[in-house]
Structure 1
Amino acid sequence: MFIEWHNNQPATMRCVDKWNETNDTVSIKLEAADGCHLHFTGFKPGQFVSLGFELNGKLEYRAYSIASMPGDDHLKLTIKKVEGGLVSNHVIEQFQIGDTVNVLAPTGPFNSVDCPPKTKVALLSAGCGITPVMSMASTWLRDRADVDITFIHMTKSADKTIYFDQLESMDAANDNFNFKLLLKDNSGTRHPQGRLDQEWLNTLCPDIAERTVYLCGPTQFMQDMESNALALGVAPEQFHQESFTPIEAHTENETGGVVQFDVPAFGVATEVAQGSTLADILEESGVPIIIACRSGMCGSCKCKVTKGEVSRTSTETLSEEDLAAGYTLACSSQIQSDVEVELA
């Protein structure tokens, strides 16, 4: 059996295991809530799902990369504690084995299928950015013996390294897998100490220009690594990165005009400021739309503009056919005229 998602609606899944990876990071294993034995083949290594929890009277969604592999009978997610993080802290402190959660369909353009590898790859990560590239590496080792993998990760110390023991085992067991860990504090380990700059990147992976590069981590880290990798000769078309960076909302344009906003199916008819973000107005109007990543990458807030105009800052998950039919992503669309909207 296979789990299915319909019309951007979430599936209900149950936590069947939970454990600490580090002192501030947990992994959870999710299976179908009805107990059916499922194989999850409907995602590509590197993609993410969005988890939805009822918190403080509101359904809150957040996106998390998938750490498991296609074909597994579960979804594995690894979640790091974030200071002030509503959902991440709920998962770490409150979400227990046996609890259920809403899960949106896997999505995301950063993956090893739509971004196919050469026979040599370099995976660059820092912190919890290790999750999607771990899924890629594990899947290649299982399915593609011809792919030569250099896995470079930077973090504070060995005990702060997510999947440390698993990566060490992968390194020892596979000739085509080379684990390069750079630590700010390397006490008691065989790994070097330093900061991953261009010189270190060249030292750890001197043939990086011959590889397809996949990158995930904090924003500044990714900006630095992109510059460093391209400077070392990586072809731009062979460089791929993940980002959940939210798009800045524009609540009002220079004219400060007022326009009409209608969602007939939900009895919404109101005046709003021209330039307002469509997602904000839908939420304020009580329309039951799911807005998960707020970066235009997950597609959960897809809706159709049947009349009027919006401007878009992302069309990441929309096809040409979607755009021609009037579909848009509410989180990254600004209202520019009188509009009428229906849910996808």
Structure 2
Amino acid sequence: MYFEWQGPNPVQLRCIDKYFETPDTISIKLAPLECQPAAANPVTFDFKPGQFITIGVEIAQKIEYRAYSLSSVPEESHLQLTIKRVEAGKVSNYLIDTFQVGDVLLALAPNGEFNSIDHPPKLINGKRKALLISAGCGITPVYAMAKQWLESQIDIDVHFLHVAKSAQHTIYFDALEALAVTHDSFQLSLLLKDASGTAHPQGRLDKAWLEQLVPDLLERTVYLCGPNQFMQDTRDNLQVLAFDMGNFFQESFTPAKDAEMSSEEAEQQVNEKNVTVSVEAFGKEIVAQQGAVLADTLEAAGLPLIVACRSGICGSCKCKVTPGSVNSTSHETLTADEIEQGYVLACSSTIENDLAVQIG
């Protein structure tokens, strides 16, 4: 029996395990509140490897939401998240330093277009061959993809290329080396900044390393996840190597709009007029500046809007607005019917005119 999510409403999950993967990275396992691991037919989770969930934790009497990729595989009685410490990161630092086994958090259903089910490896020259490329905590979703492929015993060749500072800072280091030993169809390439004490190569991923480590690169479907600049550099290198970008998929939680503004943008913002944002269900009428991000405006007013990825990817901040009142840069998780009805993603929408908002 699969765990039943509650549509757009968050559910409660309990932490049943927590441990360090590296000095600055933990994994936590989450299960239903009524979890009984020894039960004959335990409740299991269904999702697509590579997807993420949005979780909410209470910090300083406020629920903070963030999106994290799943590192577990479907059909298990728990969900696993792997969280890396981020400098000044409110939620990641809370989860690493304060959150404990037995604690409860909120969670929204798995989501995300970056997954191995909707985008399976393509048949190239009669074979299915995948190349998973990651750096840092970007290893999380591609690790889940690799495990699922290997456990399903489908006919696929998996090459796993990960870049890290050192063996000690490589998330899942022992698990990856074990997969390379136990599965003939799994090839591991770790490229380390400091490879001391290992048999792995040392260097920085570039076009030459891609050619050397993956000589059959052009025969593979590529799945990429990692820091934004790393992904951009890798994408550029693939294009220089004449890789077919139709066989390329990547994940990114990069905000849709930079936090810094140019002087011209700042001057334009000063000259923009005020608009009114009405949220009738909560008795709120907010005065905002034209051009402001809708999610920021609603959050500042204390309204219960879930804003997790801030990239127009997770869909947690979906709301309905007056037609023509906002300018949206992403509709990624919205259906055509929802867009027609006036739904937008608040994190990717700027206010243009007076509007009414329905949250949820």
Q: TM-score, normalised by structure 2?
A: 0.91
Counterpart in the other structure of 1:222: 231
Residue 342 (str. 1) matches residue 349 (str. 2): no
1:4 touches 1:11 (CA, 8 Å); kept in 2?
A: no
Counterpart in the other structure of 1:113: 117
Counterpart in the other structure of 2:39: none
Counterpart in the other structure of 1:38: 43
What is the SS of the residue equivalent to 1:78?
Answer: strand
- CA–CA separation in structure 1 for the residues paired with 2:120 and 2:44: 23
Unaligned runs of 5+ in 2: 37-41, 123-127
Q: 2:245 aligns with which of 232, 236, 254?
A: 236
Residue 3 (str. 1) matches residue 12 (str. 2): no
Same amino acid, percent of matched pairs: 53
Counterpart in the other structure of 1:283: 299
1:65 touches 1:132 (CA, 8 Å); kept in 2?
A: yes
- CA–CA separation in structure 2 for the residues paired with 1:341 and 1:5: 25
Residue 137 (str. 1) matches residue 142 (str. 2): no
**1:115-194 matches, cutoff 5 A:** 115-118=119-122, 119-194=128-203
Residue 18 (str. 1) matches residue 23 (str. 2): no
2:7 touches 2:109 (CA, 8 Å); kept in 1?
A: no
Q: Residue type matched to 1:25 in 2?
A: T
- CA–CA separation in structure 2 for the residues paired with 1:100 and 1:10: 12
Residue 191 of structure 1 deviates from its aligned partner by 0.8
Counterpart in the other structure of 1:201: 210
- CA–CA separation in structure 2 for the residues paired with 1:310 and 1:253: 16
- CA–CA separation in structure 2 for the residues paired with 1:3 and 1:224: 39
- CA–CA separation in structure 2 for the residues paired with 1:183 and 1:232: 22
- CA–CA separation in structure 1 for the residues paired with 2:114 and 2:188: 21
- CA–CA separation in structure 1 for the residues paired with 2:178 and 2:7: 41
Residue 162 of structure 1 deviates from its aligned partner by 0.8
1:81 touches 1:92 (CA, 8 Å); kept in 2?
A: yes
Residue 304 of structure 1 deviates from its aligned partner by 0.6
What is the SS of the residue equivalent to 1:63?
Answer: strand
Residue 10 of structure 1 deviates from its aligned partner by 1.1
Counterpart in the other structure of 1:316: 332
Give the number of equivalent residue pairs.
343
Q: Deviations over 1:87-123 (max 9, x none)?
A: 1111111111111111111111111122221210100
1:308 touches 1:338 (CA, 8 Å); kept in 2?
A: no
**Root-mean-square deviation (Å):** 1.6
1:18 touches 1:97 (CA, 8 Å); kept in 2?
A: yes
Q: Residue type matched to 1:282 in 2?
A: L
What is the SS of the residue equivalent to 2:144?
Answer: helix
- CA–CA separation in structure 2 for the residues paired with 1:107 and 1:237: 22
Q: TM-score, normalised by structure 1?
A: 0.96
1:15 touches 1:97 (CA, 8 Å); kept in 2?
A: yes
Counterpart in the other structure of 2:91: 87
What is the SS of the residue equivalent to 1:141?
Answer: helix
1:61 touches 1:291 (CA, 8 Å); kept in 2?
A: yes
1:307 touches 1:338 (CA, 8 Å); kept in 2?
A: no
Q: 2:55 aligns with which of 51, 54, 58?
A: 51
- CA–CA separation in structure 1 for the residues paired with 2:337 and 2:100: 42
Counterpart in the other structure of 1:294: 310
Once superposed, which parts of structure 1, at least 4 consecutive aligned residues long, lie more than 6 Å away?
Answer: 249-252
- CA–CA separation in structure 2 for the residues paired with 1:6 and 1:275: 34
Counterpart in the other structure of 1:270: 286
Unaligned runs of 5+ in 1: none
Residue 210 of structure 1 deviates from its aligned partner by 1.1
Counterpart in the other structure of 1:66: 70
- CA–CA separation in structure 1 for the residues paired with 2:318 and 2:165: 39
